[in-house]
């Protein structure tokens, strides 16, 4: 491992401290280094706050002159919630800047690098590029496609069932697994379910973390093409927890749509029909709302509709050592499915974690271009 890689690894570790707090901005970490010693470090701590390189440079003060700045993304060169970081870098007297990858945001892409070079600062890019892209995959997805990163999550028994033939699913997974899900919910922009999940389980979909720690107000969204969400469901009884949005279609009865609006829900009418809301149209709208990552917690039909259109980026599956059985028991992914095993979707970068008696399997969905 080179010296540049070693310091960039440290910067990437710092960047992760902003997870769930900085979105829709990317997680970024920075180090100010001179003669092999770290003089100061920083990370982007929250949306609207100072960026990582600014924090590190302010902590380094006059010692930054002649030093090297390691930052996990190209320094920005545009005025946003904060001033351009390149101006701070140039005025600090930094001699060299090392970063992994160009910022994909079209408002600043390549401009930071150009500004540094014009100021006579040495620039090294490409150090741990893949690691940096992986860390901020949701941000890169939003910037390059206009759609958020989709995480499909479900809990199932050892024989692949998410509920019994009667629809009972409490509780397939362990207490530890459920607590982990609440943590994940607190780190995403939206939790998404289908109307069948609301009618069957009447979920809250909130982030109930021990100690009351809440990173943000995660949106709770129901894909409900006919506006059948009950006015007395738990979601509407807890509107103070976070926003509830009903994504419906023009075919939904007008009186139901109006009743949901009066109850305090946000309602968005999208393309689709009585069978469901168009998933692609839905994600485009979320992208316009600057949602970077969403947690899909729907039933088999909803999950299948996203898989079939190639819209799932990551999978999280909690497997419990229980046998439910039953031909009519619920499965996590419905739809028609593939005709041959060789046609199935595969996961890469698979990670396996033990949570009490459960096993969590996570992986990135392989694309044809991978």
DSSP SS3 for 118: helix
For the chain, the distance separating the N- and C-terminal CA atoms, rounded to the nearest angstrom, is: 26
Q: Is 105 exposed, middle or buried (0-12, 13-18, 19+ CB in 10 A)?
A: buried
Token readout for 116 is 């540094």
What are the tokens at 320?
């419990």
CB 277 within 8 A of CB 249: yes
Give which of 206, 207, 190, 200 is closest to 228, Cα–Cα: 200
Q: What is the DSSP letter of 75?
A: P
Structure tokens at 36: 């092999």
Catalytic residues: 53
Helices 52-60 and 85-92, axial angle in degrees (round to 10): 20
Q: Which of 143, 24, 118, 136 is nearest to 72 (CA)?
A: 136
What DSSP letter does each residue of 68-96 carry, written as one string? EEEESSPPP-S-SSS--HHHHHHHHT--E
Taking the C-alpha atoms of residue 154 and residue 332, their distance in angstroms, rounded to an integer, is 7
């Amino acid at each position: 491992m080179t010296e540049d890689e070693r310091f960039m690894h440290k910067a990437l570790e710092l960047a992760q401290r902003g997870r769930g707090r900085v979105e829709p901005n990317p997680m970024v970490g920075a180090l100010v280094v001179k003669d092999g010693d770290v003089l100061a470090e920083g990370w982007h701590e929250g949306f609207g706050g100072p960026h990582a390189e600014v924090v590190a440079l302010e902590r380094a003060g006059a010692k930054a002159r002649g030093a090297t700045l390691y930052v996990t993304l190209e320094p920005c060169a545009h005025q946003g919630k904060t001033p351009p970081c390149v101006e701070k870098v140039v005025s600090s007297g930094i001699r060299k800047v090392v970063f992994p990858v160009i910022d994909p945001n079209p408002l600043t892409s390549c401009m930071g690098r150009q500004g540094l070079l014009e100021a006579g600062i040495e620039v090294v890019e490409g150090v741990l590029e893949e690691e940096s892209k992986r860390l901020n995959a949701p941000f890169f997805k939003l910037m390059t496609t206009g759609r958020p990163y989709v995480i499909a999550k479900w809990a199932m028994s050892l024989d692949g069932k998410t509920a019994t033939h009667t629809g009972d699913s409490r509780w397939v997974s362990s207490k530890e697994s459920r607590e982990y899900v609440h943590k994940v919910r607190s780190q995403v922009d939206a939790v998404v379910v289908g109307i069948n999940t609301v009618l069957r389980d009447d979920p809250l979909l909130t982030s109930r973390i021990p100690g009351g720690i809440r990173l943000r107000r995660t949106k709770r969204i129901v894909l409900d093409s006919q506006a059948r969400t009950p006015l007395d469901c738990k979601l509407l009884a807890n509107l103070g927890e976070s926003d509830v949005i009903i994504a419906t279609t023009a075919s939904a009865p007008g009186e139901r749509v109006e009743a949901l609006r009066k109850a305090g829900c946000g309602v968005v009418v999208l393309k689709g029909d009585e069978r469901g809301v168009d998933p692609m149209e839905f994600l485009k709208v979320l992208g316009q709302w600057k949602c970077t990552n969403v947690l899909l917690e729907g039933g088999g039909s909803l999950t299948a509709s996203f898989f079939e259109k190639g819209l799932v980026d990551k999978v999280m599956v909690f497997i419990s050592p229980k046998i439910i059985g039953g031909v009519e028991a619920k499965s996590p992914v419905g739809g028609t499915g593939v005709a041959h095993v060789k046609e199935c979707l595969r996961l890469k970068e698979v990670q396996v974690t033990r949570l009490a008696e459960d096993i969590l399997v996570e992986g990135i969905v392989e694309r044809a271009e991978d």
